[in-house]
Structure 1
């Protein structure tokens, strides 16, 4: 296994870097943008669908949590799928599953049907998140992998901006149709339009091949050679014969053997197909046991525990706040219109809207709310769309800075810095007094937490060899999705009556993440893990110490 992945990576190095790599990067970035689109779009649906389904805060929490629950369930599926069927086919299945689920969610007239289809959508999204970084990374020469993976954060930021602009363009429209099995209003149209990026990404991905590393590990050397030739031709503009000549003259025997290997006989091919059909799943399960045993041994156990724990803490706070930001912005807008002379923090606003005390202002506000308890006679404030777009815009400077500096600074510096700032920002939510202050802190929080999560995805590709990478990523994502589900449900149950406790819990999680970031490899150690500077580890895929 190590030999095959080493051969594949060394062969990828021979193809150069150019048009093909940029094409794969563009598709992968669009898939990641789609993930941001799908996850953050839920936040715009909740305030606008509240009237149709007469939703309480707990009801809204279920819709927010449904995709996260789907992500938890899906995390255990896609790792096997990627190893069994390949990175590409798994991404295609996840994209089309999400598209179909979101398209159906846009027309159902039932609250629980909406929850169910968002659950299925979450299963699709987690497949994309589980595999897209691996798919992209396995096409890249080692020299460029860090930088290419780091650019993915920019696509997430763009996705956050675009979904806010989509919502602003569609949700304020005034039209409505309701039937027994079908309904359509502005928010339904928004959900339908939000499903289209998954369809576009799936169609685009069909034009690209499977990764060379996966093909090598599954003995598909002839197909791998065709993929490598395509990469070489598109990157350099030269011919396939020139690539074969380059491989043949390579001083590394395993590389030159790619073109000198003998043709398999027809009987060998038939036997191979039969064995693949009958034994593939069993071999995969046995391989998973071996991978699991390997992952709980040095040096991988520490890496897996560290990345999983950081992911849990970050996603628990990030995804809960990200999906609830439009609701919080709407609450601030409503509060400031009702009490224009008063200042309040996030917790005070939530307590007022929940009518948690008996002050005169609260009583007056409660009377007003009773006449329109689900917001049927009011539209989402324009500031909600603007503020949500600003959240994405705040991420762009850091998304550009990351790939330009990651090779110089290393991943650990970024993890430490972003987690610490996110923790400090969460504590600062206690002290905001206006919606503007809340917006500024929200932008800082969004920028640094999303950057931290993207860096963890990049770290996973480099910390684990190919035969462990998908499982390690799946485990880390599973823990992260449990965190996001935990955070969303916690948010729904605590925001109205126990807001202070909620912020303390979130700040504590981010503080723990900051501490755990110290356990990630330093820049020099990461380079050793990748097999760069030392002759002692030159021929090893990863440093065993």
Structure 2
């Protein structure tokens, strides 16, 4: 029995369209590579279920890093928050992510994806629920830090896990699905905030005072809890199983995917043998029956290549781009609800007086500095804040959907560079916004371009590094990027106090610098996983 495995070029549009294929006939007794094995499983229901799981998992990181943007607007009186306190609340989650990045990358690459994904999302949910019971700033800061410490690993592993269930033709698309889900999370979060935060909630349970923002934080922990449960129903990554010498288990996973996708019995899966990838590694130290201690020892050996050429140059380039993109994107993204609230407050106080964004920001900052002794009040008539945030999120979704539809035809590198240029230009133009409508437009385009750039960069990083270094490389890149996000959110209040030019030129210029660096990235389109 011979099986013809076709790798379909991105120019294929339908079954009746002309196809450009590269075929290899695989004998029933001839071992198949991962790309051949995963291609033979076809595309169907199993892949759709994985897309749903990826969407739910993506919400967790968005919620963990973004809930404070809406919470401190409602909780600023209950917790007596200053402008610098708000910057600290935005930054502390990234501090947790930074301190755990290397640990998680190492554990996922050595011990596998599934068990640690379940553990990571479950513990994250516990810390989110803990934050909902916070009665003071220190406890809230501690729980947000621990959320960042835990969620960093599962977030990085989701990209690797989902990619390792798809062939080269679908991997970029699924990375864009994850990115689109992140953007959808930025729409869902303000909608939840709009429903919950304006409510006049004030009740006590076991001597704990609860307000609307406590309930909002409690609801935001549900995606992490549901993700942990769903990962129980899925198998370990077949690519990881092959890499670790567990071909029998990997073959059963391929058979299961094939059966779900085609409706045929698992025995009908055409491939019977897989290539022994452990013989292709440089160290050849992996054992099919390794224990945890052996796995940890092997992991330290696997870290070494990332510090040597040619991987060293690649990781430095990837980390620098991650730094600029993640920093700029998350500074503006996390401060937009506060900026929109300032715009709302200004418009209510000056009904017939149009003004630019910088005028609104500077008057708000100067007013708070000069009237700090006045009684604290929260403006609950802030529908426009949530509407503007929803518009920004919807624009990001449209940007990611557009990128997902074009990425196979245009290529990752071109999409990345164009998106960075758009984001950088709009970041600079925010300074020149003369009315709220233009400010919302520039903000939307900046977030959309930055979101697309961040997601495409993860997809590029997945293909730039081999399996044993992949999650480590992504975790390291995200750690560097989040270091910038932490630093940026911490200094953003101080930049605002110095004037309007510095913050917007800073975020726009960083994106444009990343666009220049993206030209040096290798072309990884349609590259098989190694």
Classify the TM-score, shorter chain. Answer: 0.7 to 0.9
* 1:313 alignment partner in structure 2: 324
From 147, 163, 166, give the equivalent of 2:173.
147
- Answer whether contact 2:110 2:296 (CA < 8 A) is retained: yes
**Aligned residue in 1 for 2:49:** 23
The 1-side partners of 2:51 and 2:347 are apart by: 44
Question: What is the TM-score with the length of structure 2 in the denominator?
Answer: 0.87
Aligned with residue 247 of structure 1, among 271, 290, 305: 271
Gaps of 5+ in 2: 1-30, 278-286
Contact 2:412 2:525 in 1 (8 A): no
Question: 8 Å contact 1:96–1:202 — kept in the other structure?
Answer: yes
Of 283, 287, 309 in structure 2, the residue corresponding to residue 297 of structure 1 is 309
What is the distance in 2 between the residues matched to 1:527 and 1:446?
25
Contact 1:312 1:480 in 2 (8 A): yes
Paired with 1:457 and 1:287, the residues of 2 have a C-alpha distance of 21
Aligned position for 1:220: 246
Cα separation, 2, equivalents of 1:375 and 1:72:
35
Q: Corresponding residue for 1:324?
A: 335
In structure 1, C-alpha distance between the alignment counterparts of 2:36 and 2:519, rounded to whole Å: 32
Q: Distance in 2 between matches of 1:181 and 1:214?
A: 49
Q: In 1, distance between residues paired with 2:364 and 2:76?
A: 15
2:386, 2:210 → 1: CA distance? 21
- Alpha-carbon displacement from aligned partner over 1:434-482 (angstroms, at most 9, x marks no partner): 2222111111111111111011111111222212211111111111111
SS of residue in 2 equivalent to 1:428: helix
Q: Secondary structure at the match of 2:203?
A: strand
Q: Give the drift of 1:401.
A: 1.5
- Residue 74 of structure 1 is matched in structure 2 by 100
Q: Which moved more, 1:218-227 or 1:322-331?
A: 218-227
Show the counterpart of 1:397: 398
Deviates further, 388-397 or 133-142: 388-397
Name which of structure 1's ranges 452-461 and 397-406 shifts more when overlaid on structure 2.
Answer: 397-406
Partners of 1:490 and 1:502 within 8 A in 2 = no
* Residue 354 of structure 1, CA deviation: 2.0
Residue 138 (structure 1) aligned with residue 184 (structure 2): no
Shift of 1:74: 2.2
Per-residue deviation, 1:349: 2.2
Residue 158 of structure 1 corresponds to which residue in structure 2? Answer: 184
Does the 8 Å contact 1:47/1:380 carry over to 2? no
Please state how far the C-alpha of 1:94 moved relative to its aligned partner. Answer: 2.0
CA contact (8 A) 2:187 2:393 kept: yes
* Alignment partner, residue 109 of structure 1: 135
Q: CA deviation at 1:79?
A: 0.5
Whole-angstrom distance in 1 between the partners of 2:80 and 2:247: 58
Per-residue deviation, 1:92: 1.7
Residue equivalent to 2:424? 423
Equivalent residues in 2 for 1:41-56, closer than 5 Å: 41-56=67-82
| Superposition deviation, residue 333 in structure 1 | 0.9
Question: Quick one: structure 1 residues 343 and 125, their matched pair in 2 at CA, closer, same or farther if it must change by over 3 Å?
Answer: farther
Task: For residue 179 of structure 1, report the CA deviation from its aligned partner.
Answer: 7.2
Q: Would you say the 8 A contact 2:460–2:524 is kept in 1? A: no
Relative distance call for 1:72 and 1:181 in structure 2 (3 A) is farther
Task: Write the distance in 2 (CA, Å) between the matches of 1:491 and 1:180.
Answer: 38
Give 1:180 deviation, angstroms.
8.3
Residue equivalent to 2:284:
none
Which structure 2 residues correspond to residues 340-359 of structure 1 after superposition, within 5 A?
Answer: 340-355=351-366
How many angstroms apart in 2 are the aligned matches of 1:380 and 1:128?
Answer: 37
CA deviation after TM superposition for structure 1 residue 178, in Å: 5.1
Distance between the aligned counterparts of 2:175 and 2:32, measured in 1?
20
Contact 1:28–1:132 (8 Å) recurs in 2: yes
Superimposed CA distance per residue, residues 405-436 of structure 1 (whole angstroms, 9 cap, x where no aligned partner): 11110011111111111111111111112222
Q: Structure 1 residues 463 and 498, CA, compared in 2 at 3 Å: closer, same or farther? A: same
Offset of 1:146 from its aligned partner? 1.9
> TM-score, normalization: structure 1?
0.85
**Which of residues 508, 526, 532 in structure 1 aligns to 2:524?**
526
3-state SS of paired residue (1:184): strand
State the Cα distance separating 1:210 from its structure 2 match. Answer: 0.6
Name the SS for the 1:183 alignment partner: strand
Distance change (3 Å), C-alpha of 1:527 and 1:162: closer
From the superposition, tell whether residues 225 and 354 of structure 1 become closer, same or farther in structure 2 (CA, over 3 Å). Answer: same
**Alignment-derived partner of residue 283 in structure 1:** 298
Report the counterpart of residue 437 of structure 1 in structure 2.
438
Alignment of 1:229 with 2:255, yes or no, is yes
SS at match of 1:247: coil
Q: CA deviation at 1:527?
A: 4.0
Q: Confirm whether residue 371 of structure 1 aligns to residue 385 of structure 2.
A: no
Flag the structure with higher helix content: 1
Q: Which residue of 1 aligns with 2:125?
A: 99
Deviation at 1:85, TM superposition (A): 2.4
1:137·1:145 contact (CA, 8 Å) conserved in 2?
yes
Q: C-alpha displacement at 1:351, in angstroms?
A: 2.0
Asked if the contact 1:494/1:502 (under 8 Å) is kept, the reply is yes
Distance 2:381 2:391 in 1: 17
Select between 105-114 and 425-434 the one with higher mean Cα deviation: 425-434
| Pair 105,254 (structure 1): closer, same or farther in 2 beyond 3 Å | closer
Offset of residue 233 of structure 1: 0.7
